Chain A
Amino acid sequence: MNKNTLGMALVAFILVIIAFFQGGLPLVGQGFVAGGKTLLRVFPLIVIAFIVAGAVSMLISKKMVTRWLGEGAGWKGPFLGSLAGALVPGGPFFFYPLMATLIISGANVGTMISFVAAKTLWYVGRVPIEVAFVGARVTAIRFLITFAIPILAGAAVNVFLPGFAEKIKIEVEHLQARKGEQQRVEGEEKQNGGVQTD
């Protein structure tokens, strides 16, 4: 069970307690019924959302993304970065490390600024569930209004802030180097520990 699930279960538990003190068992029952009803209503859409997510993860590979985003200055980088962001599946525990890897393998910081905005604004695997719970109209308006933002922001970084972008790149390289160093040290400690117990 991951942290999100535990956190959510905890919130659920607290809410059940509050409901119990406000309206006794009947209100607790009502809460479960309301939640269950919502779940049943949207379950078919959730299944569709997962079919989409599964298909996207089969069609898009990390290698493909690296090849797309490896280089590309000016508009091309931010454009491809936004496109990749919209398609790459996975949560923050996956795509932030991916972004660090991409920067080290040559992607521009502006491209990554586009990528992260597109990933969090337009990710296609999320669309079915957004339409289901928010409605097609609001989802469409949201896409329309925010459509240009990832591309513009990334291009602006490439054009106006190349110096700052370079500093970010160096910082990312340091962070990754330090992580590699830590892993190496831990590995050596394990080895040494093994030797000592012999």
Chain B
Amino acid sequence: MALVLMFFTYRQGKHWESLKEAKKLLLAVLPLLLAAFVVVGFMDLLIPEKVLQTWLGAGSGWRGLIAGPAIGALIQGGPYAFFPLFDAVFRESVTTGTAIAMISAWGMINVGHLPYEFAFLGPRFVILKYALYLAVPSLAGLVADVLFG
């Protein structure tokens, strides 16, 4: 994917600019990245495996499809914090469906987006968005568990 995109930028003569942009973006998030990985290391050590299994593991059933997205919606810090955390803490314990529900909820119904949504798009938009999308992560997880579980 990176190669294909680089090819497109090369054809537009923007490949150096694009790599510079990449470097700029990377340097901008590097402090966050370092802090995130410290968090990841410690979360992995400190959260008891049993608690994760009960709430999110294969035996958790519907609980995982509710608790998973609820946790996902609360996690802040963008993809470079969320995905490493998911890998270290949840990946081993959760079912495919719970993983999909959690990741979808982190993106779609993240509580950290609410201030922006209210400020720029207003309460009616927020109501409409949540009415449409609140159940989507859990449903997507359910479908995933039924089809691919």
Contact = CB atoms under 8 A, between A and B. Distances in A.
A134 B19 contact: no
Interface of A: 1-2, 4-5, 7-9, 11-12, 15-16, 18-19, 22, 27, 30-39, 42, 46-48, 50-59, 91-93, 96-97, 99-100, 103, 109, 112-113, 116-117, 120-121, 123-124, 126-130, 132-135, 137-138, 141-142, 145-146, 149, 153, 156-157, 161, 164, 167-168, 171-172, 174-175
Contact of B84 (A42, A91, A142): A42
A133 B21 CA distance: 23
Given A92-B112, A96-B117, A96-B120, A8 B81 contact: yes
Nearest to B116: A96
B22 to A, nearest CB: 3
B132 A172 contact: no
A54 B21 contact: yes
A97 B5 contact: no
A19 B122 contact: no
Contact of A31 (B21, B41, B96, B133): B41
Given A52-B2, A134-B83, A149 B116 contact: no
B92 to A, nearest CB: 11
Contact of A113 (B22, B128, B143): B128
Contacts of A2: 32
Nearest to B91: A134
27 contacts: A4-B76, A4-B81, A18-B42, A19-B46, A31-B38, A34-B41, A34-B44, A36-B37, A37-B41, A38-B37, A39-B33, A42-B87, A47-B26, A52-B2, A97-B116, A103-B121, A120-B108, A120-B110, A124-B1, A138-B96, A138-B103, A141-B100, A141-B144, A145-B147, A171-B124, A172-B125, A175-B121
Contacts of A22: 46
Given A34-B44, A142-B104, A7 B76 contact: yes
A68 B10 CA distance: 24
A35 B42 contact: yes
A1 B28 CA distance: 9
Given A54-B23, A171-B125, 12 more contacts: A4-B78, A7-B77, A39-B37, A42-B87, A50-B23, A55-B9, A92-B116, A103-B121, A130-B79, A133-B84, A135-B91, A145-B100
